[in-house]
Structure 1
Amino acid sequence: MGFWTLFQVASMPVLEVLLISFLGAFMATSYCNLLPADARRSLNRIVFIVFTPSLMFASLAKTVTLQDIISWWFMPINIGITFLVGGVLGWLLVKLLKPRPHLEGLVIATCSAGNMGNLLLIVVPAICKEKGSSFGNRDVCRTVGLSYASMSMALGGFYIWTYTYHLIRSSSVKYKSLQISEEYEGISKSPNLDLGADGQTLLLEGEGQGKSTSVSTSMTIDELGDQHQPIVSVEPMNGKEMSFWSNLKEFLLKIFEELLAPPTIAAVLGFIFGAVTWLKGLIIGDAAPLRVIQNSIKLLGDGTIPCITLILGGNLTQGNIWEPAFCAGLRSSRIRPWVTLGVICIRYLLQPVIGIGIVKAAANLGFLPSDKLFQYVLMVQFTLPPAMNIGTMTQLFDVGQEECSVLFFWTYLVSAIALIVWSTVYMWILS
């Protein structure tokens, strides 16, 4: 196939995503008001709890076998490499451009954590159904592609809620420390600390009284400063131990919550039903006695992709081109344009090139199955825009929300072009 033919094949799925995303963005504006923030949150919960688990279970249970699970062992390693490469490049970007300390974790997170689930669930099946696709039969390609995307989503969620969660949480600690420091510095330098009475005493009562008043003034400033200092325990070691165990408990609880998330549970059940032959025979196939369960689950799962795409478009209106507030957000954001440009270069220039080298090396060493679609999915994992969960975390910890919206807007805007170009390159390499 020619390069331009592949370019056309790769562009159709992304254009479909853009069209539906623009519809979701328009529905979320005040002009239409069909998909406001509350409606998006409710729909997102339905997608998270019902639609996405149904799609993941239906696709995995139908296509996955025990041999497949064994042969896909490189995918978790590949996702880990995307986080490692992006994290290192993001760290170098932070050291080079020096954004505000509380934004360092956000910058590294947007460089390392890709949207491993939602976009793959949309793009991969759409690539399969195009006539010029080089991945074989459309129906088989779509079903297998959904299995790859489902596994990617389950594994990516684990990395995001461990590594990325830690980055954003650390940023919130820096942000609170910065706030305390700036507040204390402002109080220390303020000329209006209600010292007028002491000043009058100094002028009226002479030099000797002035010395006494100076001491009083100094004491007043110290007392005010003490009120704004971080709370330090009388027993530092006990405080550190309590903080350590509290952080560890919170960290393990978040991992446990991620492992019990509906998509993760659905993925595990899908793997179990796919790997165990007699369980698979209960629900899969025309002669299966409980096939109505699989059909019902699949019917629910079919609503996942359109709903996710509408929500994606609607979420981008939080400081988006449709609302004047976005322009104010750009002006008030504390993240510099060079940092945004650096994140874009890392996500869409450096990581894809590194990803091609890693996947081709793994294929040459015999680590990957012969399926070209599997290798395509591994390469695309290096090209995805930042994970939407980062925005959820910034809201959770109340840090860098405006900056996150700006980064999301530009990275998702550029991803439309980047996904088309790199998908074309990947298919050309694999064809």
Structure 2
Amino acid sequence: MAGAVVNGLLQVNDVKSSGEDIQTAIVPLLKLLSLTVIGLLLANPKLQIIPRATFKLLSKLVFALFLPCLIFTELGESITLQNFVDWWFIPVNVLVSTALGCLLGYLVVVICRPPPELNRFTIIMTAFGNTGNLPLAVVGSVCHTSDNPFGSSCHSRGVAYVSFCQWVAVILVYTFVYHMMEPPMEYYEVVDEGGEIEETLPLNDISRPLIVEAEWPGIEDKETEHSKTPFIARIFKSISGVSASSVPDLEVQPAESSGNSPRSIRCLAEPRVVRRIRVVAEQTPIQHILQPPTIASLLAIIIGSVPQLKAFVFGNDAPLSFVKDSLEILGGAMVPSVMLILGGMLAEGPNESKLGRRTTIGIIVARLLVLPTMGIGVVTLSDKLNFLVVNDAMFRFVLLLQYTTPSAILLGAIASLRGYAVSEASSILFWQHVFALFSLSLYIVIYFKILPFI
């Protein structure tokens, strides 16, 4: 009889513990959802409480001030030279999640059969998740809960881990994504030959979609001569002997007309394919990588890894501690600002899309449901191989988040920069962020359950 009573009490405690775990996982997302709803109400075109131009200015503040301040203060204080070595799997995990996402995106293309000109777009939207603003918001909200399972240093470690992978994601965006989002050759030729002139909005027109500048303000200043043309396709198409006349003339002048300069000798000695690869590399906007958040990450890593510099900036007795405290106050505005901007973006609603309902559902299922399941397997295997920091639940939680977030809002800016699938990007990002409210809730509950066993 006594044994039955004890077993009953244990079952009651287990149910209570399970309910508390679910509440601990759900409450942080409810906080973020509340901020998003506030932003949605403020930006609602019927209420018109705050004009859309205000959200664009707020996005610039996040990009140029709030986010860099948060990254610098938290990453700089947490990182050391030893941590720099121990955290090596965080950027590697970004590459692994992107590779798996590309594989799932290809399967979506095969199964759902989107319009041919949107095949590469489908792969990119499935592969590249939000590795910056949204994970920072989730971590900040989770750590704001008093009974979070990550301890007293939850926020500083979580922000440091998320910030440490930012540079990898930025490099991928400005190299691989930039070229994958190039307008398809066939699509470009149809538009060009049709003689239709697409009406373009002025560069500073406040009616430009918020999604275009939500994570990359001032994108119009980054446009180059080849940003909206199928540059790579025109260069490499002649390799197969097709439409050679449409390929730009990359041949160099004869030696007698151009002199004996080292540049002309080098070009004459280069094979045609190598020369074309070099031209493509020269057109890659690698210089755009040095944006304020990236610069803040680099400064934090440099200062945090050198003990003498770190003692000068971080710590209660540091000579520049007042500067660090000021930046920390500014960084505290990042999470609410990001969620308000997200609400403003959702208030615009989905644009018309040629992607098709089946492909849209395929991307959402692959990105928000299938990829997180694969991420659990990758993180569990990595732990078995001793790739992860020992006994650090936040480290594992951040790794899992990299598989769970919807597609990066930055992809909307890249689509606008390249002039390729802008409406489709706006539509798919809208629906992904709507359904991510449910998928994030589901998987954070799962993560909290399995973290003690990973």
Same fold (TM over 0.5): yes
2:385 corresponds, among 341, 352, 365, to 365
For residue 222 of structure 1, what is the aligned residue in structure 2? Answer: none
Q: Which residue type is aligned with residue 265 of structure 1?
A: I
State how far apart, in whole Å, the 2-side matches of 1:113 and 1:366 are: 26
The answer as to whether partners of 2:140 and 2:335 remain within 8 angstroms in 1 is no
- 1:20 Cα deviation (Å)? 1.1
1:100 aligns with 2:115: yes
Indicate whether 1:153 and 2:166 are aligned. yes
Structure 1 residues 238 and 294 mapped into 2: Cα distance closer, same or farther (>3 Å)?
same
How do residues 331-410 of structure 1 correspond to structure 2 at under 5 angstroms?
332-370=352-390, 371-410=392-431
| 1:143 paired residue number | 156
What letter corresponds to residue 167 of structure 1 in structure 2? M
The 3 A distance-change label for structure 1 pair 231 and 425 is same
How far, CA to CA, are the matches of 2:77 and 2:114 in structure 1? 48
Give 1:6-17 correspondences, 5 Å limit. Answer: 6-17=21-32
1:248 corresponds in structure 2 to: 281
Answer yes or no: is 1:118 the counterpart of 2:139.
no
- Indicate yes or no: 2:301 matched with 1:263: no
Q: Which position in structure 2 is the counterpart of 1:281?
A: 311
Q: CA deviation at 1:114?
A: 0.4
Distance 1:235 1:166, change over 3 A: closer
CA separation of 1:237 and 1:361: change in aligned 2, threshold 3 A: same
Which residue of 1 is the match for residue 239 of structure 2? none
The aligned runs of 1:20-419 (5 Å cut-off) are 20-137=35-152, 140-169=153-182, 171=183, 173-180=185-192, 232=245, 238=251, 245-251=278-284, 254-258=285-289, 260-318=290-348, 320=349, 326=350, 329=351, 332-370=352-390, 371-419=392-440
Contact 1:86/1:347 (CA < 8 Å) preserved in 2? Answer: yes
Q: Deviations over 1:10-38 (max 9, x none)?
A: 21222222211122122223234354443
CA distance in 2, matches of 1:234, 1:292: 58
Q: Do 1:27 and 1:34's aligned partners in 2 also have CA atoms closer than 8 Å? A: yes
CA shift in 2, pair 1:420/1:245, >3 Å: same
What's the RMSD between the two structures over aligned residues?
2.4
Q: SS where residue 283 of structure 2 aligns?
A: helix
TM-score by length of 1: 0.80
In the alignment, what sits opposite 2:264? none
Task: State how far apart, in whole Å, the 2-side matches of 1:69 and 1:5 are.
Answer: 35
Tell whether the 8 Å contact from 1:3 to 1:424 is kept in structure 2 after alignment: no
Q: Deviations over 1:222-273 (max 9, x none)?
A: xxxxxxxx9935986639888755532221xx22211x11111100111111
- 1:75-105, CA deviations, whole angstroms, 9 ceiling, x for partnerless residues? 1111001110001110121122221122222
Local SS of the residue matching 1:111 = helix
- Secondary structure of 2:28's match? helix
Work out the percentage of aligned pairs sharing the same amino acid.
Answer: 31
Greater than 4 Å deviation, 4+ residue runs = 180-184, 233-237, 239-246
Unmatched tracts of structure 2, length 5 or more: 1-13, 197-242, 253-271
CA contact (8 A) 1:282 1:290 kept: yes
What is the letter of the counterpart of residue 352 of structure 1? P
Cα separation, partners in 2 of 1:297 and 1:131, compared to 1, 3 Å: closer
Within 1, Cα distance between the matches of 2:413 and 2:184?
Answer: 13
Partner of 1:80, secondary structure, is helix
Q: TM-score, normalised by structure 2?
A: 0.76
Summarize the Cα distance change of 1:303–1:231 in structure 2 as closer, same or farther, 3 Å threshold.
farther
Instruction: Give, in whole Å, the separation in 1 of the partners of 2:127 and 2:246.
Output: 36
Distance 2:303 2:184 in 1: 41
Q: Contact (CA 8 Å) 1:101, 1:174: kept in 2 or not? A: no
Partner of residue 208, structure 2? none
Aligned-residue offset at 1:119: 0.8
* Counterpart-to-counterpart distance in 2, 1:128 and 1:174: 49
The superposition leaves residues 321-359 of structure 1 with CA deviations (integer Å, 9 ceiling, x where unpaired) of xxxxx5xx4xx4211111111111111221111111111
Distance 1:305 1:168 in 2: 29
State whether residues 174 and 288 of structure 2, in contact with CA within 8 Å, keep that contact through their aligned partners in structure 1. Answer: no
Unaligned runs of 5+ in 1: 185-229, 321-325
Code of the residue aligned with 2:101 in structure 1: it is: G
* Equivalent-residue separation in structure 2 for 1:235 and 1:306 (angstroms): 48
In structure 1, what is the Cα distance between the partners aligned to 2:129 and 2:394? 19
CA offset at residue 6 of structure 1?
Answer: 2.1
Instruction: Label 1:262 to 1:172 Cα distance change in 2 as closer, same or farther (>3 A).
Output: farther
Q: 1:182 to 1:272 in 2, by over 3 A?
A: same
Could you tell which deviates more after superposition, 237-246 or 279-288? 237-246
Q: Secondary structure at the match of 1:285?
A: coil
In structure 2, the CA distance between the partners of 1:174 and 1:167, relative to structure 1 (3 Å rule), is: farther
Mapped to 2, the partners of 1:18 and 1:178 lie a distance apart of 43
Instruction: Write the distance in 1 (CA, Å) between the matches of 2:47 and 2:307.
Output: 50
Of the structure 1 ranges 390-399 and 373-382, higher mean CA displacement relative to structure 2 is found in: 390-399
The 1-side partners of 2:443 and 2:393 are apart by 15
Contact 1:6 1:132 in 2 (8 A): no
Residue type at the aligned position of 2:79: V
| AA of the residue aligned to 2:288 | E
